[in-house]
């Protein structure tokens, strides 16, 4: 019988034997995982738990919130505020940062998260997830919003939890990508895959084709060539996949390859893109890179971008290395 390794044991061994993570970060990641288990339970209850539907409120992005958006945000805050590992948190659902209250000890880490990515899919029972990123707080007293404005290269941990047929936690601490699956009988995440790799080549792309008329020319060129298949310049047939939940689309790409694209378009030309740099693009980019893939905004490596505001948006092209390099090259050509 194969020995089952829990997330806790895995992190303890990373701390003890490999020296990859300090004990404070290990404890923080365990707390985040516990919060994800609570969110998974709420998601799985669906209509039986009175968590479906709209909350009749908008988040800072001007998007209508679902009940589960608010529940997941509160779960993550309540689970992490008292442990002594964090200085502050930032969420896609909150306008400003959440500083750990004075009644609790303050740690040295900053936690950023999208509490429920893909929430528009909740009511139709499609996979959704939680995305998170951890950075060290810059030295100095107190904590401010400016402390969060660090490039993705400063991340010390990143991951996501996808709530689908299985609840799966995907994690990196800078030494590859590891996958854990929730054993509901035991109530713990169990190691199911190490050193996840994204194939360099692919025949699949993920993009919202309904926005095609709004794309910039390089994106249109890339997709047109894919659609021409083996008779076109790419010389191979492509399939399109699109869930509409970043965590589900990226999880598929991490599992079997592909390219995920959410580009700038003409509908909101003043915005660099749709996805948020701190809560979505940075953690997913690091996971993709740790698995051998690539992630750019069409011109720059996403993790090299220094954010100027908490809810900064960015264009995203990530996944199989050769395809990302191809569409990025098109952005640099006249």
Could you report the per-residue pLDDT of 281-320, keeping only the tens digit for each?
999 999 999 999 999 999 999 999 999 999 999 999 999 9
Would you say residue 182 has pLDDT above 60?
yes
At residue 89, φ and ψ (nearest 5 deg) are: -130, 155
- pLDDT band at residue 120 under the 50/70/90 scheme: confident
Instruction: Write out the DSSP string of 210-235.
Output: GGGGGB-HHHHHHHHHHHTGGGSTT-
Per-residue tokens: 311: 């809810």
pLDDT at 52: 59
pLDDT tens-digit profile of 63-95? 556 788 899 999 999 999 999 999 999 999 999
Percent of the chain with pLDDT over 90: 83
Are 313 and 274 in contact, with CB atoms under 8 Å apart? yes
Q: Model's pTM, two decimal places?
A: 0.94
pLDDT tens-digit profile of 237-257? 999 999 989 999 999 999 999
Residue 269, exposed/middle/buried by CB under 10 A (0-12, 13-18, 19+)?
exposed
Percent of the chain with pLDDT over 70: 94
Collapsing DSSP to helix, strand or coil, 260 comes out as: strand
- pLDDT band at residue 123 under the 50/70/90 scheme: confident
* Average pLDDT value for residue range 122-130: 89
Are 233 and 290 in contact, with CB atoms under 8 Å apart? no
CB count within 10 Å of CB 330 equals 17
Calculate the alpha carbon distances from 129 to 147, 176, 280, 298, 328 in Å. 26, 21, 11, 25, 28
At residue 163, φ and ψ (nearest 5 deg) are: -100, 100
Specify the higher pLDDT residue, 305 or 1.
305
* Average pLDDT value for residue range 149-172: 97
Would you say residue 174 has pLDDT above 50?
yes
Averaged confidence pLDDT in the chain = 93
CB count within 10 Å of CB 231 equals 8
The DSSP element (H or E) to which 288 belongs, if any, is helix 282-290
Per-residue tokens: 146: 């400016």
pLDDT tens-digit profile of 193-220? 999 999 999 999 999 999 999 999 999 9
pLDDT at 53: 60
pLDDT at 288: 98
pLDDT at 1: 42
Are 130 and 117 in contact, with CB atoms under 8 Å apart? yes
* Average pLDDT value for residue range 145-165: 97
pLDDT at 260: 98
Cross-strand pairs, 88: 99, 110
pLDDT tens-digit profile of 18-57? 668 999 999 999 999 999 999 999 888 877 766 656 655 5
How far apart CA 329 and CA 134 sit, in angstroms, is 31
* Average pLDDT value for residue range 327-333: 95
Would you say residue 166 has pLDDT above 90?
yes
End-to-end Cα distance, the chain: 59
Are 310 and 90 in contact, with CB atoms under 8 Å apart? yes
């Amino acid at each position: 019988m194969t020995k089952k390794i829990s997330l806790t044991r895995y992190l303890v061994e990373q701390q003890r034997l490999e020296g990859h993570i300090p004990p404070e970060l290990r404890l923080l990641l365990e707390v985040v995982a516990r919060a994800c288990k609570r969110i998974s339970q709420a998601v799985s209850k669906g209509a039986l738990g009175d968590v479906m539907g709209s909350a009749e409120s908008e988040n800072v992005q001007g998007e209508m919130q679902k009940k589960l958006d608010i529940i997941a945000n509160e779960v993550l805050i309540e689970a992490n505020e008292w442990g002594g590992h964090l200085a502050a948190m930032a969420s896609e659902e909150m306008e400003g940062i959440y500083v750990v209250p004075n009644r609790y000890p303050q740690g040295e880490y900053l936690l950023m998260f999208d509490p429920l990515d893909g929430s528009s899919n909740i009511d139709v029972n499609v996979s959704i997830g939680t995305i998170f990123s951890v950075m060290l707080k810059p030295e100095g007293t107190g904590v401010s919003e400016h402390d969060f404005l660090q490039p993705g290269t400063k991340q010390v941990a990143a991951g996501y939890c996808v709530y689908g047929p299985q609840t799966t936690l995907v994690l990196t601490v800078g030494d590859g990508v590891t996958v854990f699956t929730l054993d509901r009988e035991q109530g713990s995440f169990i190691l199911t895959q190490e050193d996840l790799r994204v194939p360099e080549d692919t025949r699949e792309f993920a993009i919202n084709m309904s926005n095609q008329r709004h794309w910039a020319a390089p994106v249109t060129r890339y997709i047109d060539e894919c659609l021409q298949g083996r008779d076109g310049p790419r010389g191979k047939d492509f399939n399109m996949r699109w869930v509409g939940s970043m965590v589900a689309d990226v999880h598929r790409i991490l599992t079997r390859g592909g390219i995920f694209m959410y580009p700038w378009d003409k509908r909101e030309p003043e915005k660099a893109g749709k996805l948020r740099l701190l809560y979505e693009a940075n953690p997913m980019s690091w996971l993709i890179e740790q698995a051998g893939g690539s992630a750019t905004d069409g011109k720059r490596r996403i993790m090299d971008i220094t954010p100027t505001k908490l809810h900064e948006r960015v264009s995203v092209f990530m996944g199989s290395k050769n395809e990302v390099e191809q569409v990025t090259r098109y952005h640099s050509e006249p």
